[in-house]
Amino acid sequence: MGTSPIRRGWRWGLRGVALLLLAGIYLALERGGSAYLQRLAVLFLINLMLVVSLNLFTGFTGVFSLGHVGFMALGAYTSAILTLPIAMKKVNLPDLPAPLASTTLPFLPALILGGFTAAAVALLIGIPILRLSGHFVAVATLGFLIITRVVLINAEAFTRGTRTFTGVPPFTTLGWAALWALLNLYIAWRLKHSSLGLQVRAARDDPWGARGVGVSIARVRLIAFGISAFFTGIAGGLWAHFLTAFSPNAFYFSKTFEIIVMMIVGGMGSVTGSVLGTLLVMASTELLRNMEPGFAIGSFTFGPLYGLSQIGLAVLLILLITFRRQGLLGDQELRLEAIPERVERWLAQRKVVLESPRVRKADP
Amino acid sequence: MRPLHRLVALFLVFLLGAAACQPATPPPAATPTAPPAASPTPAGTLEERAPIRIGAPFNLTGGMASIDVPAANGARLAAEEINAAGGVLGRPIELLIRDTKTDPATAATVVTQLIEQDKVVAVIGFNDSDYVLAAGPICQRAGIPFITVGATSPRLPGQVGDMLFLTPFGDNVQAAVGAEFAFEKFGKTAYLLWDKGAEYTTVLAKYFKERFAELGGTIVLEDTYQSGDKDFSAQIAKVKALPQQPDFYYISALPDDVGTIVKQFRNAGITGPIVGGDGYDTPLLLEVAGPAAENVFFTTHSLLTADSPNEKVRKFVEAYKQKYGTEPEAVFAALGYDTVYVLAEAIRRAGSTDGQAIKQALESIRDFPAATGVINYSPQSHIPQKGVTVIEVKGGKFTLAVERVPQKVPAP
């Protein structure tokens, strides 16, 4: 598409710089030794996966899903049950059926199986649900979330019911989280510009037109739903092995809203927007949370302000919805190429300015 | 304009990101942190000496706030009293109270930060096992003692490790007392109703059933509900259909549901004694159920009244009233108060703020008088062997029915 060789060179250079920067951040966190910052980074990457996957479905298809945390729960419980050491299973899950009770899988296969479980359930429920449209899908997926919770609470042999599921091995490291998050970002990015991505986005913007050119709306949406659920399940597994103890309460409305807020802040349908949204929401809540015990500005000290982070987040949302309803990026993307493009445009303008007097001089 | 907006947005995010990395600097508390006073008689006034920092994460906002806020208030009160009396090892105690928003992931992050950045020597907090299990392993790995203020699951020390201690008794202890008390006082047949939506209510019902069967009692009907349910007519209909009413009704419920359940049972004409656990220890019981709460009995940590026979309780209730202008809202206030006192005693005995030394000193604590009973720890048991208070609702008030220790406790 008419990219000049100079620009291509620029692009590779910038990509190199970006990669080096990421690698630098990774090494600094990994070697820096601050467990606190490492924890935040892992949480950020897991939340990022949840937001990107949700965006991959909701943003691209325009159909709202309130049930993604259900997929997260499926991934978390599947992976946790599969990796629990056998001795621990005898204590915590005495009623587990035979093949599960006597096997323990390593981290990676368990994680992937968790993702597949979520994807399989998504494909199954997607067939009826995705025939609906608009907010009916939101209600139906909300129903799925509630059903998931009830099943988790009642399948006591597998999940310990409402009791905390403990003893999950702490496998999730910064490296694992970074690897999966990058893979997730890459696939979401490729998908957006693939033929499938174009089809779902066409169906979002003009369903009749899309159908007219032969797009099978239900089918392409179902595929997007499955991929999205797979990565949400993986994120759930990573979360389970990060926190090592959780109960069905963790996978309910508050988590759902947390992810949706991050997605809306970043912009629905934007992959890079998801990164920005997650970063902005997490950074501002963490910053405000650190101010909660009390802080000083000059000689004024402010007493404990518990709840500040929630209020701050709410204010951020109100401002955003008032002044920038489409989120930070809408469904646009931040592209590295934009930088050389802008620089070149700027150079071109300078050139005109530099050259024009000469032109004028020659004129008379 | 749009690209500009995007740039501005990016810049904002970058700023926030950079700002988020800032708090690595010491927290904004006004106390100076500079000179580490190692000698037994450091110079200067109490305020000038390096404080002993204790992390106190609680769910001050969200669903747990109604019991975690009183617990944090009780802990703060105890820290202030200890400092007014000269501190510990000649140093003041600094309680770093943090909000964990009823979110286990935040709980884990906050505890990591307390240990790493604030260099706390011990952590106290939480009234529910979800948060203890998220934060406990982090303390365990760091070798920092953790005392939970109000989580009563007796399996916690086994699940977390040897750095974990409980201030309250375990659920198996209070369920055993409930079963023994009701078996002797009311009779051999019981109805059992429990909330499937919470670990505490599930476990409590399980231990009650175990001990009651052991005593020779029979449960004529067992039923469940979900926390937050507002209509109990289905459960009540089944009770009414029984050929003969049981001697008493054991209902394992969370504070938010207790009042509603008792009221609906009474309105349906069920007048027999209702027995429960420390979830009943909430003002909501009397506020919601009103006169229907008569003939309700429950096991709890202490009866907090200004005219209590226990001098510790009287002193605590009075001090709490003076500081916060209200009587203790929940018994967890007293547990928070006791936790700080027990920890201070352990640091005093250890003579240092080393994690292992504090842990060993905690294990050596015997017959420590506290507002919620006498606390005993040992290397084998990090759950105190305490007496259980049984409260009867009589004349619209909580009155002491009996204080007792169980004859036998179901295994955790």
Residue located via tokens 């404990």? A304
Closest Cβ opposite residue B16 in set A243, A280, A332: A280
Rounded CA-CA distance B235/B241 in Å is 10
Contact A267, A280 (CB under 8 A): no
Q: Is the ipTM of this complex over 0.90?
A: no
Contact A110, A191 (CB under 8 A): no
Angstrom distances, CA of residue B135 to CA of A159, B100, B114, B198: 21, 11, 11, 19
Residues of B in contact with A153 (CB under 8 A): 196-197, 226
Q: Are residues B249 and B329 in the same domain?
A: no
Is B410 contained in some domain?
no
Instruction: For residue A347, give the nearest of A7, A101, A73, A1 by alpha carbon.
Output: A7
Rounded CA-CA distance A85/B386 in Å is 34
Strand partners, B393: B398
Q: What is the pLDDT of residue A120?
A: 97
* 8 Å CB contact of A164 and B129: yes
Please give the single-letter amino acid code of residue B12: L
Residues of A in contact with B139 (CB under 8 A): none
Q: What is the pLDDT of residue A345?
A: 85
Q: Computed from CA positions of residues B247, B253, B255, B260, in that sequence, does the dihedral angle turn out positive or negative? A: negative
Strand intervals (E) in chain A: 295-297, 300-302
Is B243 contained in some domain?
yes
What tokens does B154 get? 């007796």
Whether B130 and chain A come into contact, CB under 8 Å, resolves to yes
Q: Are residues B165 and B184 in the same domain?
A: no
**Bigger pLDDT: A340 vs B45:** A340
User: Going by DSSP bridges, is the β-strand pair B368-370/B248-252 parallel, antiparallel, or unpaired?
Assistant: unpaired
Q: What is the pLDDT of residue B32?
A: 42
Average pLDDT over chain A, rounded to whole?
89
Rounded CA-CA distance A44/A353 in Å is 46
Q: Is B341 helix (H, G, I), strand (E, B) or coil?
A: helix
Q: Which helix (H) or strand (E) holds A268?
A: none
CA B136 to chain centre: 15
Strand intervals (E) in B296-396: 296-300, 368-370, 373-375, 388-394
Which of B58, B76, B97, B109 to probe the A interface (max A CBs under 10 A)? B109
- Mean pLDDT computed over A12-36: 88
Q: What is the chain A residue with the closest CA to B134?
A: A245
Contact B99, A307 (CB under 8 A): yes
pLDDT value at A299 more than 50 = yes
Q: What is the pLDDT of residue A241?
A: 96
End-to-end CA distance of chain B: 65
Q: Are residues B259 and B366 in the same domain?
A: no
Closest Cβ opposite residue B134 in set A163, A245, A254: A245
Q: Is A247 helix (H, G, I), strand (E, B) or coil?
A: coil
Q: Are residues B258 and B273 in the same domain?
A: yes
Report DSSP state, residue B225.
E
Q: Are residues B264 and B178 in the same domain?
A: yes
Is B107 contained in some domain?
yes
Q: What is the pLDDT of residue B40?
A: 47
Is B19 contained in some domain?
no
Q: What is the pLDDT of residue A355?
A: 62
Q: List phi, psi (to 5°) of A213.
A: -95, 15
Q: Which helix (H) or strand (E) holds B332?
A: helix B332-350
Per-residue pLDDT tens over the stretch A157-190: 999 888 889 889 999 999 999 999 999 999 999 9
Rounded CA-CA distance B316/B372 in Å is 10
Which residues does A104 contact at the CB level (< 8 Å), separation at least 6?
A82, A83, A84, A85, A86, A89
Give the A:B interface size as CB pairs under 8 Å.
Answer: 131
| Percent of chain A scoring above 70 in pLDDT | 95
Q: What is the pLDDT of residue B90?
A: 92
Q: What is the chain A residue with the closest CA to B105?
A: A243
What tokens does A216 get? 């099978």
Within chain B, how many helices (H) and strands (E) appear?
Answer: 13, 14
Q: Are residues B188 and B320 in the same domain?
A: no
Contact A206, A217 (CB under 8 A): no
Instruction: For residue B263, give the nearest of B237, B234, B233 by alpha carbon.
Output: B233
Q: Give one DSSP letter per residue of B238-250, joined into a string.
A: HHHTSSS--SEEE
Rounded CA-CA distance A210/B219 in Å is 64
Q: Are residues B216 and B134 in the same domain?
A: no
pLDDT value at A105 more than 70 = yes
**Bigger pLDDT: A97 vs A230:** A230
Of A37-46, A294-303, A342-351, B227-236, minimum mean pLDDT range: A294-303
Q: What is the pLDDT of residue A162?
A: 82
Is B30 contained in some domain?
no
Which of B98, B100, B120, B130 to probe the A interface (max A CBs under 10 A)? B130
Is B128 contained in some domain?
yes
pLDDT value at A361 more than 60 = no
Q: Are residues B137 and B197 in the same domain?
A: no
Residues of A in contact with B226 (CB under 8 A): 153
Reported confidence tier of residue A342, pLDDT bands at 50, 70, 90: confident
Q: Sheet of B164-166: strands edge to edge?
A: B93-99, B52-58, B122-125, B146-148, B164-166
Q: Give one DSSP letter per residue of B113-159, joined into a string.
A: HHHHTS--SEEEE-SSHHHHHHHHHHHHHHT--EEESS---TTHHHH
Q: Computed from CA positions of residues B151, B348, B366, B281, in that sequence, does the dihedral angle turn out positive or negative? A: negative
Write the CATH number for B274: 3.40.50.2300
Rounded CA-CA distance A242/A261 in Å is 22
What tokens does A5 get? 């060789």
Is B154 contained in some domain?
yes
- Mean pLDDT computed over A227-238: 97
Tens digit of each residue's pLDDT, chain B (412 residues): 444 455 555 555 554 444 444 443 344 444 444 444 444 445 566 666 899 999 999 999 988 888 899 999 999 999 999 999 999 999 999 999 999 998 889 999 999 999 999 999 999 999 988 899 999 999 999 999 999 999 999 989 988 999 999 999 999 999 999 999 999 999 999 999 999 878 889 899 999 999 999 999 999 999 999 888 899 999 999 999 999 999 999 999 988 899 999 999 999 999 999 999 998 988 889 989 999 999 999 999 999 888 888 889 999 999 999 999 998 988 999 999 999 999 999 999 999 999 999 999 999 999 999 999 889 999 999 999 888 999 999 998 899 999 988 998 898 8
* 8 Å CB contact of A34 and B9: no
* 8 Å CB contact of A292 and B99: yes
Residues of B in contact with A249 (CB under 8 A): 130
Q: Are residues B85 and B123 in the same domain?
A: yes
Please give the single-letter amino acid code of residue B158: G
How many domains does the structure of chain B reveal? 2
Residue span of the structural domain in which B241 resides: 172-300+389-404
Residues of A in contact with B28 (CB under 8 A): 291, 293-296, 301
Q: Are residues B328 and B221 in the same domain?
A: no
* 8 Å CB contact of B198 and A162: yes
Q: Are residues B227 and B243 in the same domain?
A: yes
Helices A107-129/A217-243 angle, 10° precision = 140
- Mean pLDDT computed over A118-131: 94
CA B256 to chain centre: 16
